[in-house]
Structure 1
Amino acid sequence: MTDDIQFPAQQQTPPGLTGEMRPEPDHGEQSYVGNGRLEGQVVLVTGGDSGIGRAVAIACAREGADIAFTHLAEEQPDADATVTLVEEAGRRVVPMALDLTRREACDEAVQRTVDEFGGLDVLVNNAGYQMARDHAIEDFSDDRIDRTFKTNLYALMWLVRAAVPHLRKRPGCIINNASIQAYEPSTALLDYAATKAAINNLTVNLAASLGPDGIRVNAVAPGPIWTPLQPATQEPEKVERFGADTPLDSAGQPAEVAPAFVFLASPAEASYVSGTVLGVTGGKPVF
């Protein structure tokens, strides 16, 4: 073993499950304390079953928001855990097993949220897909490229399109999940990194176009964060050293990213913040 080993070597089949990870991620279950910053709001989180999405759902619930979230059908065990955690925070929760690579599923996610809660205040576009086990561009299958772009970009645009009429009524806000990969792209994640750079551009452009409606649009750019996506899409030897290349010399936990989303969602604290990409990267630069 060398000094830069961060995690035990491990591998899962995508999309991966929290319970099979060693160690399991910290989503703030024991640490996050709310202060009523989102009292009475409705938050829709895509990919809210695990990782950053679960941490955001927990934090927003403890800040007083009701939560709707999407997940894939095969992520049901993780989704059940998120439901329990939100309910323990005393908030209502609506889980939705949906494949967001389908436009109809994105429309359904927004409509069900509005039907259940009577409106929508915050859209968190968190769901994402990557695959880092095939390194050369000639190994990128059509299915891989299609899944990456549809999950990361198409779904974001479909969800925003469906949500904007409801967000205008509040007015609400949109928070996109970008990545350090937009700034320091990995060749093994060529397609994923391209979508994250596009998300940065979309964030700034949407902020400009929706600003007159009072809708704020921002993004969070996480660095290496310990989520099921990592053992499900990285080679085992990469998992061992995951996060070792950051200035802080470690991977982050989902619980360390969620407060950035809460800040950007807060109508009191971030009322004049729009068109911004907030880095949570362990010291890697986002410019």
Structure 2
Amino acid sequence: MDAFHAMTVFVAVAEAESFAGGARRLKMSPPAVTRAVSALEERLGVRLFTRTTRVVRVTDAGARYLEDARRIIAEMAEAEAAAAGINAAPRGQLSVTAPVLFGRLYVMPVIAEYQAAFEQTSVSALFVDRVVSFLDEGMDVGIRIGQLPDSSLRAIRVGRVRRVVVGAPAYLERYGIPQTPNDLAGHRLVAASGLSPTNDWSFHRAGETVRVRVQPCITVNTNDGALAAACQGYGLTRVLSYQAAPQLASGELKTVLTDYEGDGLPVHVIHREGRNGPAKVRSFVDLAVDRLRANKALN
């Protein structure tokens, strides 16, 4: 007799505490169930049940076997669900979150590509510069920048970004290039309050941290606004490297104080589902990881 089938019969009888009850659950005849259990006991060489006229109870050996049998049956069901899910077409509503500028620059292209490939899906994107609660706000996938706290969420690292100080070539030609963080005291500065709520800028070099209290001439609440001011030559600003990547690539901005950027911050794709999660989540995570890892601005 098939070992897995015999194990299934044993579990049904043990949970029903009855051969007749196990037979009804499995839609088998009581004699067939009795024969299956007897054959299993003979093969294992132990008695699995104590039988009385009123009830059937597992023995000590049967209790240990029941625990293992339940686990094996559950793992088999998970394996079959995972295999079936590989071929399932993604469908349904998918909720994605990311920081505002990261979402616009790097996540929206992934969403567009994903939705074009899987037309039976719809995507809701929440781009905000705060930590979103997956459970409370119903998110499926997110992008997090920075060190992750201990969490039940699954995380896949896709890159790293740095805090960079940038300025327009015309500004640097007129005011000069700062060589150390302390030189910022002699420059016009534009601060993005969303990136740093204080006027203390931290720099890192050779394992040492240098903190400088800056006096911005312009403070704006968005990174877009700070970058726009820097591009127009109003002063130097400090943002994350991915935020200024388009302007650095075009030559509108240049980085300064590169020796003080430090190791940077990790970028992760996070999600709640495991390997048996919905096809819509697995497909989006796979696509996002592939596209973000290939992006030079994040590596």
Shorter-chain TM-score above 0.5: no
From the two aligned structures, give the one with the greater strand fraction.
2
User: Rg larger in 1 or in 2?
Assistant: 2
**Interval of TM-score (by shorter of Structure 1 and Structure 2):** under 0.3
